Structure formats: structure tokens, C-alpha cells
Amino acid sequence: MTPGALHGITVLELGELVSAPYCGKLLADYGADVVKIEPPTGDPSRGWGPFPGDAPDRETSGTFFFLNTNKRGVTLDLATDRGREMARALAAQADVVIENRKPGTMASWGLDHATLAAANPDLVTISITPFGQTGPYSDWLGTDLNAFHLSGASSRYCGRPGEAPLEHGTFAADFYGAVTAATWGLAAVYGRARVGGGQHVDVSCAEAIAATFVGGQNIGGCAQDGRFERRTGVGMPLGAPATILPCKDGHVWMLALEPGQWNGLARVMGNPEWMTVDIFQDMYQRAQNADVIYPLLIEWTMEHSKREIMDRCQAEGVPVTAVFTVAEAAEHPHLAARGYLTEIDHPALGRVRDLGAPFRLPASPGGPARPAPLLGEHNAEVFGERLGLGAAALAALHRDGVI
């Protein structure tokens, strides 16, 4: 196999749940040697599921499986002096440490960047937290949703006008924070020669969401003249059609703003007379008459399936897409053709479908090749290889509850 793009980079992951593990997964899936440290009881995400047959088992969590492919897994109790000593010894040999603990926790363990960098000046430490390492909220208790809502994203996008904002699912802030962390953590690794060593990369998930979901168009505009946009519910208020419409077997995302798109949609629909009215050549005029247009479009969409609507509209240059369910996406031929759906053998789960590499690097392809580790699966391998510990020493550590 061609070595991954990050082959030769060693990573120590001291995080749990989503943000730090996904950051570590991105690095591992592209060739970095990522050693994940878990407490002897395991990463809490092992208890999240989904589980086959809804039977909880810390070795069969779907969440843990997805977030931890290609890593080597060891156990260490960082509440013990010996556990922290071993973690420092591993960090002394690493290029990168990833963590997502509450600010101050790593320092209380003697595993903060300043302490680790004293022994390893080239070390890059990536800290991913809801609000960052500094500022008045840095030590607040917070989760993914706290970070998301602090950014203003839910007020801007989630919910109907005049009603309460909606929560946002899928750990968006954690995943965006993880991608940001992997990107700029690697920038710090490859920039060590320029700055004379490693550095501490401080990632705030709230700021990652603010930059990507909300962005300068909203926050910058508010700072400039006090104006900003609020949530609009489904669809776009300034142009039409741009909304989700029901159809015979589900829904379609209907987008036909430019004149060429609108006229292409008209051809697909058989050129009904009402679509040829001159004012409807302008998307703003259509938006002002959306209460008239949308019911007429729905009459047509309800006669057709979402795939038929998508295929016919795309053939006419209209960017309409079927709204697929998760089950449909998992079987989608486009994703399969790109190799984004893959399968991996796992000792407890059997052969499992997984998502492949989200970024294409043809010369050094990435993606999951090895399953997430069993709890403590690589203790003997990693502690023997990195710390020179033999079977007797490992047995003593296990007996003392350190691993």
C-alpha cells in the first residue's frame, strides 16, 4: 500500500467523545500513527451506541467505531502518578498531542503544553474546547450545543421566523472544531522549522461555527452597521423557488433562481402558461409571490418521485436534488462509486460498513483501513515499543489499576 500522506507523524490522543477523537481519526485515516489513550473503563463514547440488537457493549459502539478507525488504543489511568508519568513519556516521543479536556485539567495532570514542551520542544499540542483556552467563558461547563448556540448560528438559521430557535443535531460544533483543529494542527507541525519549534493550537468550537455557519457576512455586517439576518424557516426569502417541497415519495430541494434555471424547470413541467408570465423571470418577483407559486409547484411535484424530479431537472440544468433519507444515502450509487462507502472487519462487530476518506488525495489515498481498537488492545505493543515495558511490568501495572 502507498504510505498515507501523514506517514511518519506520531500523535498522542488524550481526548474523548467527539471533537478530539474525530481530529485524531482524520490524522490516522491519512497515515499518521495515532495512539489513543483511554481510561481503563474506556472512552465514554463506548457507551453511546448504536449497538447491534440494542445490546450495550463497550466493544460494539457504532459511535466509537466511526470516530476511532486506524488508531492504536491503550489504557492509562491519568488520575494516578504512574499513569501521568507514562503519558508524559509517550508525549516526549510524539509530534502532536490532541486533547479536549476542560481548560486547566491538563495542567492539573502535568500534561499541559508548557510542561510537555519542556521535554519535547517540537511538540504541537491541539486543544479543542467549546469556548477556547482564554476568555471569560473558557472555564465554563459546555458541550457541542453550547458552542453552537453561542455563535449565533441557531438564531440565524435554525427555526421559523417569530418562533423559538431550534437546537442543531449531529455534533456540528464538535465536528467543525475537529476539522479546524486537524487543519491548523498540521499547519503548526509543518511550520515548526519556520517558528523554531512546536506551539499550542487553541481551537474554540464556537468560533469554528461562527466562521463557517455565520461568517463575516453576518457578524461583520452587524459590527459594521448593526444589521443582521435572522432565521427564515424553510427556503430563501429573497428568491424563489428555493425551498424543500413534498413529492410522491418524500421531498426535493427545489432551486431554480436564475432565468435559465427557471425556464429549464418550466420545460420539465411542460411549460405551463403561468410560468411564462414576464414578472416570473425575476427571482425576487417570484419570492414576493411565493404563496402563489409554491402551491402550483407542489401540484406537479406530488405527481412524481423525487428521483424522477431530480433526474429530469438536472438534465435541464436545474439544480434540484432529492432529499434522501439516511438509509437511502447509505445505498447511494454515487457515494459507492467514489469509494466513500467502505467495509471493515472488526473482531466484535464482524464486517461493518463505514464512511471512507472525506478528502481526495489520489497520490496517497486515505480512509479507514483498520477498525477502531478494542479497549486496551495495543497496551503491550505500544508500551513495549515506546516505553520498553515487558510482560511482567505490564502485569504489575494492570494489577495496580494503572492500565
Confidence label for 233 from pLDDT (cuts 50, 70 and 90):
confident
Amino acid letter, residue 155: S
Largest Cα separation within the chain, whole Å, is 85
User: In the CATH hierarchy, which fold is given to the domain comprising 10-213+338-399?
Assistant: Rossmann fold (3.40.50)
Q: What pLDDT, on the 0 to 100 scale, is given for residue 227?
A: 74
pLDDT at 234 over 80: no
pLDDT at 4 over 60: yes
Calculate mean pLDDT across residues 192-218: 88
For the four alpha carbons of 303, 308, 313 and 315, in that order, the dihedral sign comes to: negative
pLDDT in tens, 151-196: 888 888 888 888 888 888 789 999 999 999 999 999 999 999 999 9
Amino acid letter, residue 348: A
Q: What pLDDT, on the 0 to 100 scale, is given for residue 230?
A: 78
Q: What pLDDT, on the 0 to 100 scale, is given for residue 216?
A: 57
Amino acid letter, residue 42: G
Query: Judging by DSSP bridges, how do beta strands 33-38 and 341-346 pair with one another?
Result: unpaired
- Residue 318, SS3 per DSSP: coil
pLDDT in tens, 314-364: 999 999 999 999 999 988 899 888 888 899 999 999 999 999 888 888 888
Please give the grid coordinates belonging to residue 179. Answer: 476539522
pLDDT at 217 over 70: no
CA triple 352-144-84, angle to 5 deg = 80
Query: Judging by DSSP bridges, how do beta strands 350-355 and 321-322 pair with one another?
Result: unpaired
Which residues partner with 127 through β-bridges?
A: 99, 202
Q: What pLDDT, on the 0 to 100 scale, is given for residue 38?
A: 98
Angle between helices 259-268 and 306-315 in degrees, nearest 10: 130
Please give the grid coordinates belonging to residue 305. Answer: 418521485
Domains of the chain, by residue range, sit at 10-213+338-399, 242-325
pLDDT in tens, 77-118: 999 999 999 999 999 999 999 999 999 999 999 999 999 999
Instruction: Report the distance separating Cα 43 and Cα 57, nearest Å.
Output: 12
Instruction: Report the distance separating Cα 95 and Cα 114, nearest Å.
Output: 15
For residue 113, how many other CB atoms are within 10 A of its CB? Answer: 23
Please give the grid coordinates belonging to residue 164. Answer: 423559538
pLDDT at 224 over 80: no
pLDDT in tens, 8-23: 999 999 999 999 999 9
Q: What pLDDT, on the 0 to 100 scale, is given for residue 116?
A: 98
Q: Is there a contact between 229 and 219 (Cβ–Cβ < 8 Å)?
A: no
User: In the CATH hierarchy, which fold is given to the domain comprising 242-325?
Assistant: formyl-coa transferase, domain 3 (3.30.1540)
Please give the grid coordinates belonging to residue 161. Answer: 421566523
- Is-same-fold flag (10-213+338-399; 242-325)? no
C-alpha distances out from residue 235 to 24, 130, 167, Å: 36, 30, 18
The percent of residues above 90 in pLDDT, for the chain, comes to 76
